[in-house]
Amino acid sequence: MSDNSLTRREAIGGAALGAGAAALGGTQAMAQAGSRKTFVLIHGAWHGGWCWRRVADRLEAKGHKVFAPSLTGLADRSHLLSLNVNLDTHITDIANMFKWEEIKDACLVAHSYGGWPCSGALEQIGDRVSSIVWLDAFLPKDGERGADAASEFSRKSLAEAVAKGEPGRRGPPAKAFGVVTEADQKWVDSKVTLQPNAIPMQPIKLTGARDKVAKKTYIRAPKYAQPAFDKALAECQADKSWATYVTNDAGHDVMVDAPDWLTDILIKHS
């Protein structure tokens, strides 16, 4: 796609590609090298790839390539929930998708809990990721466990579910995430599934691959109270290698509440 040869065959091919991009709402320029981006959108706890629908639609309409998988045991893969689904499972979900889909030069976006498996996956796929965006997400350090940084609600529900020997636990209602409209609250509540319990019990192993990514962005939605996210924002604001944003117009599920704004940020920092 970056070939600037003026042969008739390639000129015709370039015109066809430009027309295809325009049909998706892009422009002929979008079809040229460096314009079409690849985004990998990773959801948070209790969610699935469905939560990215609005953002994915907007990115694709602009001619970009989007992957928004559901991690093992959640959403359309909730039938795979078991006591064996741990942090390594989700790390492997992400790493294997990059490998089998041959994804390169991608923008990896992590929402909330997604900061854990995305951080772990970067240890394996760092050379395939050119930028990352952490969306109201955990920024774990080597050796930390999800249980150490979980909210009081999450710790309590985890303890209760583990005591019963259950493989997963229920999350809070969408209203607690700060989802803005009542219609969207009902939509989110209809989609969320159990979050695997073994995940927050496993320490993460990191060697600094996340820090080596060239372009890094952190977005905070403070309407959702989570000290770990406030700490992550402060760390990123103090680190010149990170760009940071704060939105008071959306709840924790920014991709649901403010898809246009978020899409613009992702494109700008991809």
pLDDT, tens digit, 9 for 90 and up, residues 110-157: 999 999 999 999 999 999 999 999 999 999 999 999 988 877 777 788
Percent of the chain with pLDDT over 70: 87
Alpha-carbon distance of 188 to 173, in angstroms, equals: 8
Catalytic residue among 112, 131, 157, 270: 112
User: What per-residue confidence (pLDDT) applies to 7?
Assistant: 36
Phi, psi of 154 (to 5 degrees): -65, -40
Q: Is 112 a catalytic residue?
A: yes
What is the distance in angstroms between the CA of the first residue and the CA of the last residue of the chain? 19
For 196-243, the pLDDT digits (tens) are 999 999 999 999 999 999 999 999 999 999 999 999 999 999 999 999
pTM for this structure? 0.87
